[in-house]
């Protein structure tokens, strides 16, 4: 097994930082795009619901159900996006130093 000195390891890590940042950026854009698509789809569902001829009580029940499901699906993606954003900022700062 080949062992590298600490300076060699740091040099290798520094060489791959832009690739890591690029991958993080791609993943972050993908997640943000997915969140945007989810939000648009829910907005369309709510518009259709508002224009329907159903009773107001039923509309409110369905609206609350749509919003609750949306939040349940959206929250994990939002948390992941925040983690990736923090990692991306940290890697960008490392590239600058």
Structural domain includes residue 22 = yes
Quick one: pLDDT at residue 19? 55
Q: What is the pLDDT of residues 57-80, one digit of tens each?
A: 999 999 999 999 999 999 999 999
Supply the range of the domain harboring residue 36. Answer: 7-96
Does a structural domain hold residue 82?
yes
| 2, part of any domain | no
Tell me if 84 is assigned to some domain. Answer: yes
In a domain, 1, yes or no: no
pLDDT at site 25: 85
Q: What is the pLDDT of residue 37?
A: 95
Residue 11 lies in a domain: yes
Total structural domains within the chain:
1
Q: Does residue 44 fall inside a structural domain?
A: yes
DSSP string, 15-70: HHHHHHHHHHHHHHHHHHHHHHHHHHHHHHHHHHHHHS-S-HHHHHHHHHHHHHHH
């Amino acid at each position: 097994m080949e062992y590298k000195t600490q300076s060699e390891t740091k040099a290798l890590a520094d060489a791959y930082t832009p690739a890591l940042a690029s991958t993080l950026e791609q993943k972050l854009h993908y997640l943000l795009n997915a969140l945007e698509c989810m939000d648009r789809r829910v907005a369309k569902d709510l518009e259709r619901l508002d224009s329907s001829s159903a009773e107001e009580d039923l509309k409110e029940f369905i609206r609350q159900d749509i919003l609750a499901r949306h939040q349940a699906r959206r929250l994990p993606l939002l948390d992941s996006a925040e983690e990736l954003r923090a990692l991306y900022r940290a890697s960008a700062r490392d590239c600058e130093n």
